[in-house]
Every structure is written in structure tokens, then in C-alpha cells.
Amino acid sequence: MKTLRILAVDDHEMTMLGYKFILERIVFDDYNILVDTANTYEGGKDKIEESVYSFRYDIIFLDVQLFPPNEQQPHTGEDLGLLARKLSPSSKIVFMSSFSDNYRINSILKSVDPDGYMVKTDIDPRSLEEAVKTVVYEPPYYSAKALAAIRKKMANTIELDENDRKILYHISTGTKTKDLEQYVGLSSSSIENRKRHLKSLFGIEKENDLSLIVAAKKRGFI
């Protein structure tokens, strides 16, 4: 019997153990499924580095947010995904996250190019089983909410650069215009010019920032 090695990384230990319980009970061809777990970036990094010299994980499930990043631990699940791509390129990477907004999902798809993305509210034993079988034989696998975000983005004909997307995203989270500089890396005047341009693109030149966010959400940018 072949062994399917899976690594699950989530900062909520009970959630992670729940995944392990479900995954190891999946009946899948001639595979015996073994699941390793970690609940921090460093723990996941150590597991991936160790596997390079003995075996390589077939699938790596990653939570996007591994505790709030800070000076002591500045890394995210997205960073761990990028590391896994470098150290173990044959491993399939699936993100499992509470983030369901279009900006975060499409940003991760672009940066890591994962083999799957599951929004946590979509996850149940059946979807986990479908995810495993799909990414092994015919990736990618996207849960319903993730697929909706991807389709919404694909249906949009307006192209925005990364700075425009960052401006829209951070305004939508409540960041004030005067504080955007630290997130976007542009001057306040450049940010205001971009906001005016975005409103023009969306046909709401005389509207406020709230209308800008509503228009951006309708078009799948956030």
C-alpha cells in the first residue's frame, strides 16, 4: 500500500487536529494517509525542511494567517507556501483560510500559484476528501466561495495594478487615507490621484470612498 504524506499547518490546534482526524480516515484507492501537523510558521518550516532529506509531502495544507504577524514572528501562511514551493516543488499546496475576499484569494493565487484554496466556512469532511483526491490526480481544487471569487475576477474587464488593489483593499478594511502611505508605499498625493482615477474608471467620479469600495466589490477587486 502506498503512503500519502500530508502536512497540515493551522494556528488553531483543535481545528488542525480535526483536519488530521478527517484526513486520516479518508478511503482513497490504495493509499495509506499519514498526516503531520504544525501550528506555527516555524513549526511548519521545520517539518518541510526535514522532509526534503527523507520524504517529500504529497500535499501541504496551509492556513493563511498563522497568528497575527509581529516583530518576533513576521511570517504568514503565504510566506510558508512560497518557501514550500522553493524547497519541495513537487508538493501540492492547498490554502485553507477564513479569508474569502477577492483581493486576498487572488493575491495568493498570483504569488504562490497553489493547487487549491478552501474557504473555511466551506470545509466539511466531504469537501476535504474531494480536495485530496482532486489535487492528487487533477488539480486545482477550489471550494465554492473561492471559486466564486475567481470567477468574479475573471469576468471583470478592468485591469488594475497592485498598488490600486492595495489602496482599495486597505480602504475597505477601514484604513484612513492619511495612513495608506505605510501600506502602499506611495505619497499621499499619488494615492489621492489613484483614487480619483479609480472613481473615473468605475464611473463614480463625484462619489465618496464608500461608493468606491462598493463599486470595487461589485467588480471583484475586493
CA gap 33, 125 in Å, rounded: 15
pTM of the model: 0.75
Q: How confident is the model at residue 43 (pLDDT cuts 50, 70, 90)?
A: very high
Angle of helix 13-23 relative to helix 125-137, nearest 10 degrees, comes to 70
**Spans of all domains in the chain:** 2-153, 162-218
Looking at the domain that runs over 162-218, which CATH code has it been given? 1.10.10
Q: Nearest to residue 56, comparing CAs of 7, 128, 2, 111? A: 7
CB neighbours (10 Å) of residue 109?
18
Q: Nearest to residue 59, comparing CAs of 35, 26, 32? A: 35
For residue range 116-135, what is the model confidence (pLDDT) as tens digits?
999 999 999 999 999 999 99
Q: How confident is the model at residue 24 (pLDDT cuts 50, 70, 90)?
A: very high
Same fold: 2-153 with 162-218: no
Q: How confident is the model at residue 70 (pLDDT cuts 50, 70, 90)?
A: low
116-144 CB burial, b ≥16 within 10 A, e <16: bbbbbebbeeebbbbbbebbbeebbbbbe
Q: How confident is the model at residue 36 (pLDDT cuts 50, 70, 90)?
A: very high
| pLDDT confidence of residue 158 | 77
The CATH class that applies to domain 2-153 reads alpha beta
